[in-house]
Amino acid sequence: MSKLDPSVRLLHLMLRAQHYARKESSDTGYAMMLVSIVTILIFSLLAAYLTITNISKSATNAHVEVNSTFYAAESGLNQRSDVVRQKFVNYATPNGVSPGATSTSIAGPNNMAFCLDSDPANDGSGDFACQKIELNYKHAIGTNVSRDADGKSLSASNFANNVKYTAYSFVSDRTIYIDPVRRIPQVQTIPAGQLYAGLNAQEYRYTIFSMATSRQPQDLDARAMIVLEMSFRSRNIPLFQFAAFYNGIWR
């Protein structure tokens, strides 16, 4: 076997070294590309998870906010309706004018804005005037569990976030009066299908409006606002309509 020229051998070694270097560089490039793709996918999944979590949290907070605001408005409505009811229980009728009522009317335009502005002259008077109540609700946000040195649970206490709500309410007199000054209502015949149908009665009609909103200092534009109303009537039926007459003698 003939010996190769040293220069030829050196050339072969250089070519082989270059071949191995290219192969290693190619493998490294593929590995870097694969790592980059996997990293991008992981960060994309993490970003999607965080986005979904934030949306879910916002939806949950909004649901709790709306429910609590509704309960606050309902509380204001129930308290105001009970005050009006007690008037009739004590054989009296509500007196006053509704918010925004003019000098020629008793009932106002049913606009809650009169209770929210800074002008007390528009708040109405008497039993129909604007009223404001403050309510506190606790939103449970977690449970704190205390344990002893052995890890046994000693006590568990719920901790909550106190949220303040404001409820505004007023009463609108919807009664049809034949004498508005003395508050004498129009006599109407009770419709068929109702209790004491066919009898004549003096009918008083009222509508109670209640609005509530949270008083959170943050996200003022996103706060929930609920407006509820309740309509009811009271009838005075003259007792003589229940009497029976026989040949000029009544019983």
Q: What amino acid occupies position 177?
A: Y
Place of tokens 């040195």: 149
**Contact of 163 with 90, CB cutoff 8 Å:** no
Query: How many secondary structure helices (H) and strands (E) does the chain include?
Result: 2, 11
pLDDT at 119 (0 to 100): 83
pLDDT at 156 (0 to 100): 46
| Cα–Cα distance, 207 to 234 (Å, whole number) | 12
| Cα–Cα distance, 107 to 172 (Å, whole number) | 5
In this structure, the number of other CB atoms found within 10 A of the CB of residue 130 comes to 22
pLDDT at 24 (0 to 100): 55
pLDDT at 134 (0 to 100): 86
Q: Is 155 helix (H, G, I), strand (E, B) or coil?
A: strand
pLDDT at 247 (0 to 100): 60
pLDDT at 18 (0 to 100): 60
**Contact of 93 with 87, CB cutoff 8 Å:** yes
Q: pLDDT in tens for each of the 251 residues of the chain?
A: 455 566 566 566 666 666 665 655 555 666 677 777 888 888 888 888 888 888 887 777 778 788 888 998 999 999 999 999 899 888 888 888 888 876 556 656 667 888 888 888 888 889 999 999 888 776 555 555 555 556 555 454 555 567 788 899 999 988 888 888 888 899 999 999 998 899 999 999 999 999 998 765 444 554 678 899 999 898 988 888 877 555 655 55
pTM: 0.65
